[in-house]
Amino acid sequence: MTSGAVPEGGARLSPEILAQLARKYRTLAELRRARAAGEAIPGKEVFRALAGEFPGALNELDNLPLDEIDRRHDALSRALAGGAEERWMAWMHGYHALMRAALYVKIRVARRQELSEGEAAALAERAARHAGAPVDAAFVIAVKAPPDGRLNRVVLGRLAAMSGASMAEIRGTIFPRRPAQGG
């Protein structure tokens, strides 16, 4: 599978997608370990590039425990070698793709008062090509006015509809919170 947000009918993610995700978790682990070792914080361009390729990755960097980052990297490495894929892998790939599409749309509709169905459909086609995610005019319209101003709700809602899982299950799986420090 080279495009599309979620594999359908049990299809495996492509080796390219698995390798991209593994690279992301390797990068997150390196950044986290460097921070723990007191190394200098990389320039903004490092974080900008990471967020551009993998929207939501900075959330993971800040909130995932390092052992979970390592576990995800190891699981992706096993999947790349032909081992079993875990559901979160498709969800994470889908999240990144759909959020790329949402951000692509948002910047193009932010100042518009009106958006016709035809304009929304044309923008959906461009966003789908840009992000590698199947989106439609309804997605574009939802991004224009997301619930409580939160694009994450639009993206997770679409991902839930595509995967058959609940938004809460997907959110809790791909973005679990790091336990509180200290106390």
- Which sequence spans correspond to the domains of the chain? 15-80, 87-174
Please, is 159 exposed, middle or buried when counting C-beta atoms within 10 Å of its C-beta (0-12, 13-18, 19+)? buried
Please give the model's pTM, rounded to 2 decimal places: 0.90
Position 170 scores a pLDDT of 96
Residues in the chain with pLDDT < 50? 1-8, 182-183
Q: What is the pLDDT of residue 7?
A: 46
Per-residue pLDDT, 171: 94
What pLDDT is recorded for position 110? 87
- pLDDT value at residue 52: 94
